[in-house]
Amino acid sequence: MSKLYSYISGAVIGLINGIFGSGGGIIAVPMLKKNGLEVKKSHATSLAITMPLSIVSCFFYAKNGNLNFSFAIKLIPLGLIGAAIGGFIIKKIPDKILKRVFGLMLIIAGVRLFTK
């Protein structure tokens, strides 16, 4: 991956993450796969990228009064359990299935955004 492409990718992923929450991963995963990373490494690397971006975005959302911390705190414990389970079972999911499920989730999310 060229340095220029890396810089541009980082800026785009950060911008998307800042606007849509951790939606930067939606952009990061395909960019990483396009540049030769294996499917599972693309997903894991995307998480590593979006984690610090999400922390920064969260700070600005909170500063602007757009964070409902009491609601978020209720979701975090089981969310962490779900994340651990997902991280554990990812190694058992074939790449082909993972790509299709990820694509299907993107389509479902897109349709829901347009219809609700």
- The token pair at 34 is 């396009």
Domain map of the chain by residue range? 3-115
Residue 6, pLDDT score: 83
Averaged pLDDT, 59-87: 94
CB contact burial 12-22 (16+ within 10 A = b; e otherwise): ebbebbbeeeb
Instruction: Report the predicted TM-score, pTM, of the whole model to 2 decimal places.
Output: 0.77
- Which tens digits make up the pLDDT trace of 13-40? 888 888 887 777 788 888 888 888 899 9
